[in-house]
């Protein structure tokens, strides 16, 4: 598979390579630093399977550039926006313009790989944040573009608040040690909670729990101090 990384910062392009090879060890990584270069690279590629596109590189003009690229790109190739700007308006406009996902540049490499795996499976990926809880966010979403019912969808309604927080951090790519530090808990406590999470949502392991959470549209609860739970 060929993966096109279009970003005007070489440091970003080079930094993404090891994570993309984790996604597919045999992937050929194609580079582009402008919209014109991205369109030309996509036209020449004979096995293009994924595109990562920066909204702010030269020639893009934001969403207009995405629309121009999509018009030239094979329709079956998922295009994922990777951007330092991830406001509600940016995310919704990108998905409405044909993006298969929107990944903020602030996420960890592991979280990005998880998100891209989800996209390659045919799902859409949107940032896991308070984005969807902002006033008016639901009205701006396209019907069916991201599954989310009222309240907490099953089986996530079985999770305690702390289990939900831990699963949310797991989706972000945090290790057990990192989760323990964030929540001011012992690492053994995190392991116990994770066993309960796996059981409640029907996951066999860490990777499966992440996939179930990301594909469901579930959003983690706001974190509260450890002493409050």
Burial code (b: 16+ CB inside 10 Å, e: under 16) for 148-173 equals: eeeeeeeebeebeebbbbbbbbbbbb
Indicate if 128 and 163 belong to the same structural domain: no
User: Which residue did the predictor score with more confidence, 168 or 144?
Assistant: 168
Provide the pLDDT confidence category of residue 150 given band limits of 50, 70 and 90: very low
**180-214 per-residue burial string, b: 16 or more CB within 10 A, e: under 16:** bebbebeeebbeebbeebbebbebeeeeebbbbbb
Query: Is 151 inside any structural domain?
Result: no
**Does 81 or 91 have the greater pLDDT score?**
81
Which tens digit of pLDDT belongs to each residue from 168-213?
888 878 889 989 998 889 999 999 999 999 999 998 888 888 888 8
pLDDT of residue 151: 57
> Quick one: pLDDT at residue 220?
79
Of 102-106, 108-112, 129-133, 161-165, the poorest mean pLDDT is in 129-133
| Confidence at 135, pLDDT banded by 50, 70, 90 | very low
pTM over 0.95: no
Instruction: Give the structural domain span for 125.
Output: 2-140
Total tally of structural domains belonging to the chain: 2
Nearest to 138 by CA among 224, 219, 79: 219
CATH of residue 100: 3.40.50.2300
Look at residue 104 and give its three-state secondary structure.
Answer: strand
Is position 104 within any domain? Answer: yes
The verdict on residue 124 lying in a domain is: yes
- Tens-digit pLDDT profile for residues 25-59: 999 999 999 999 999 999 999 999 999 999 889 99
SS3 22: helix
- Tell me if 150 is assigned to some domain: no
Q: Are residues 57 and 111 in the same domain?
A: yes
| pLDDT at site 217 | 66
Render pLDDT for 111-121 as a digit per residue (tens, 0 to 9).
888 889 889 98
Say how far apart CA 186 and CA 179 lie, in whole Å: 9
């Amino acid at each position: 598979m060929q993966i096109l990384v279009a970003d005007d910062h070489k440091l970003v392009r080079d930094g993404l390579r090891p994570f993309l090879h984790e996604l597919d060890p045999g992937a050929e990584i194609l580079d582009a630093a402008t919209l014109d270069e991205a369109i030309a690279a996509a036209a020449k590629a004979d096995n293009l399977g994924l595109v990562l596109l920066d909204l702010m590189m030269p020639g893009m003009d934001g969403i207009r550039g995405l629309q121009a690229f999509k018009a030239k790109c094979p329709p079956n190739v998922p295009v994922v926006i990777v951007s330092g700007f991830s406001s509600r308006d940016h995310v919704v406009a990108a998905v409405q313009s044909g993006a298969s996902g929107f990944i903020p540049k602030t996420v960890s490499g592991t979280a990005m790989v998880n998100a891209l795996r989800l996209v390659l499976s045919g799902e859409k990926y949107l940032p896991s944040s308070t984005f969807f809880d902002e006033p008016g966010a639901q009205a701006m979403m396209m019907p069916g573009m991201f599954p989310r019912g009222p309240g907490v969808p099953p089986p996530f309604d079985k999770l305690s608040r702390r289990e939900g927080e831990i699963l949310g951090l797991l989706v972000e790519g945090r290790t057990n040690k990192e989760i323990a530090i964030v929540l001011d808990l012992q690492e053994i406590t995190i392991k116990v909670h994770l066993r309960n999470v796996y059981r409640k949502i029907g996951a066999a392991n860490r990777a499966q729990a992440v996939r179930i959470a990301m594909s469901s549209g579930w959003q983690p609860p706001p974190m509260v101090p450890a002493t409050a739970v």
